[in-house]
A and B are shown apart, each in its own frame.
Chain A
Amino acid sequence: MLRQISFIALLISLLVAPLLGIASEAKPFAEKHVVLQISDPNPFKQTLVLNVAGNILKHYGSDKVDVEIVAFGPGLRLLTLGNSNTKRIDALNSEGVRFSACKNTIKAFTKKLGHAPELNPVAVPVSAGVVRIMDLVDKGYILVKP
């Protein structure tokens, strides 16, 4: 009997899982999932991507939306330690916005600089920025590149 109940519970959970969507651990009640791409050298784009993240949170409420910013290429400068936008990054992070840093870009920066770039502690290295974006899109995230 117990075995049957367990089996039914497992079956139900498997059936319901897709309906629950892609709720992340940090944002269990999120109804929207967005990944923002920053890969541009233009400093204005740094401000823009942070503005977009802030506006999304403001519109949906920080509990109802899950936002991740993925930085790669020249856009990784957004996540270097001491960036002029650090306060805004920290504020967004405190509201649940995640920041991913491309390991390939970190390697390239290291080669050019002669040492590894110091990153903002909120930055989470991911194997490849573009792969991270593809994975998130596969999970149902909407990709926005401001």
Chain B
Amino acid sequence: MNIFKKSLCAIAVGSGILIAGQAQAVNWLMVQGTEEPGSAPRAKLWGFLQPQYERTQNDKLADGPWKGQDAAFNSIGPNLDSNSQFQLRRARIGVRGAGFPLDDKINYFFLAEFGKNGITEYGDAVELTDASVTFNHIKGVRIRVGQFKTPMSEEVYQGIALFDWINFTGYAAQQLLERHLAVDGQTPCTPNLTNAKYLEACAKGNEWEAFGAARDTGIQVFDTFVFESMQDWEFSYSAMVGNGNGLNEGDKNNNKDYYLYFSAEQVYDGKRARRNGWKTFAWYTKGTREILTSSGKGLGANYREDEFDRKRWGIGTTYRKGKIRAAAEYNKAEGMIFNGVTGGAIPGNIANNVPVTAQFNILPDEEADGWYVDFGYKVLPKIELAARYDRYNRGTKNTLDVNGIGVERKYKTLTLGAQYFFNKKTRATVNYAFRDGDGQDNNTADNILDDMGDVLSFQVTAIF
């Protein structure tokens, strides 16, 4: 149960880049963090729009306390009020360049979100997504400060305007695009809860207080190297420290998040965001999250705010040459993981026979993993056909809760897609996702997930 919830559509994140098209095998560290030396403009205005239409099968919850009610996974985010919806998934505008072009050792990047998605759903109507300054004075140690994307899984790290799919894979949507919740949501949300803070949060469905959007505020060192003996290869690294508390938020604790990233790429041809090449990469991130739980870190604790580890890592490869693009990744989550919505219901909805409110929730000490393979082929100069298969396993560490009920969920999604490129900056995308979920050792969850519907999506991307 609980797959995709608000994440189904609300996970609209990413940064932008200037040119439309396919994005495999691009050095995103450099494309997003630097400008072209000697030719950076003082201020380049740019952005992109992504209007879309999406619908799912309108199957209700088949089992559990919310039986017969709307299922979160069969509703379109970010508001989850219907099973079909037109929406402006992303509308971003930004400026980038070198403020003093003669000294282009310093460049900046600024981007704001006007669309409706996970970033703005519980935030302001307009949210700042990126605001950073990069210092390129030291060879091999470029320094970037501010709020920006953290190097990680290519799926979410790439410039989102170039993402070849409309929705993210199940794993990325839930475990990489972090929702910062106030309470863990594991305690049944009834009106007689004794902790006022817990009750206040869960009664509203435990909406997220901040959205990570694969970004953080902090400082990063990075660079890319080309060696004389292997001039067609690029080797890149990044190390970063950040707050780990979501977009436009201060830190909540004294523990910082740490990010490491390495990549090696054979470059075939092209430049910047339109490059052909074959890249392999690995990344790791670790941080802690402070969250209110009813049991704290140990049984018997009574509503305590504790700090829990949150680790993510992954490896992957991307390839693009001529008509073909391909990608594959394996990702792993340890510690705090996102766990969907209680009973698969819409957050905030009350159960049928008991006064329990459905809420987003996390598992403070669990594991999850996911992988995908993605392949696209341009059958005509303006038309690409593609397929992506992804698997996502959640709650794989303890598999059973204290009552012996299975917490593990397994999801499989096959997405077929087609893109029509009007020109280099405008394209239309259609996706159809066949979704399947299983609740391990949990008949109720399994019955609910049996009705997880397919998703049909149309999207237009226009970059300016």
Contacts and interface: CB of A to CB of B under 8 A. Distances in A.
Interface string A76-119: 01101011111000000000000000000000010011000100
Contacts of A42: 41
A37 interface: no
B103 A43 contact: no
A85 B42 CA distance: 18
Contact of B38 (A84, A112, A113): A84
A43 B36 contact: yes
A46 interface: yes
A61 interface: no
A126 B102 CA distance: 20
B103 A77 contact: no
Contacts of A113: 102-103
Contact of A84 (B36, B41, B101, B103): B36
Counting contact residues on chain B (CB < 8 A from A), the size range is: 10 to 19
Contact of B39 (A77, A112, A117): A77
Contacts of B42: 41
A82 B37 contact: yes
B208 to A, nearest CB: 40
Contacts of B41: 41-43
Contacts of A41: 41-42, 101
B38 A82 contact: yes
A78 B39 CA distance: 7
Contacts of A74: 101
A30 B37 CA distance: 33
Contact of A85 (B38, B102, B103): B38
A42 B97 CA distance: 12
A99 B101 CA distance: 21
B39 A83 contact: yes
A83 B37 contact: yes
Contacts, number: 37
Nearest to A114: B103
A117 B37 contact: no
Contacts of B101: 41, 74, 77
Nearest to B100: A112
Contacts of A112: 102
B424 to A, nearest CB: 14
B40 interface: yes
Contacts of A43: 36, 39-41
A113 B101 CA distance: 10
Interface in B20-61: 36-42
B102 A84 contact: no
B103 A46 contact: no
Most buried by A among B36, B39, B42: B39
Contacts of A85: 38-39
Interface string B103-128: 11000000000000000000000000
A99 B227 CA distance: 28
Contacts of A109: 102
A88 to B, nearest CB: 11
Most buried by B among A42, A74, A77, A113: A77
B437 to A, nearest CB: 48
Nearest to A45: B39
Contacts of B103: 113
A90 to B, nearest CB: 13
Interface string B226-270: 000000000000000000000000000000000000000000000
A46 B42 CA distance: 15
A123 to B, nearest CB: 12
A25 to B, nearest CB: 29
Contacts of B102: 77, 109, 112-113, 117
A78 B101 CA distance: 12
A28 B189 CA distance: 89
A73 B41 CA distance: 15
Nearest to A84: B36
A131 to B, nearest CB: 23
A74 B40 CA distance: 12
A117 B100 CA distance: 14
A77 B101 CA distance: 9
Nearest to A82: B37
Given A43-B40, A83-B37, A85-B38, 10 more contacts: A41-B41, A41-B42, A46-B38, A80-B38, A83-B38, A83-B39, A84-B37, A86-B38, A109-B102, A117-B102
Interface of B: 36-42, 101-104
18 contacts: A41-B41, A41-B42, A41-B101, A43-B39, A43-B40, A77-B38, A77-B104, A78-B39, A82-B37, A82-B38, A83-B37, A83-B38, A83-B39, A85-B38, A85-B39, A86-B38, A109-B102, A112-B102
The 6 closest A-B pairs by CB, nearest first: A83-B38, A43-B39, A84-B36, A82-B37, A80-B38, A77-B38
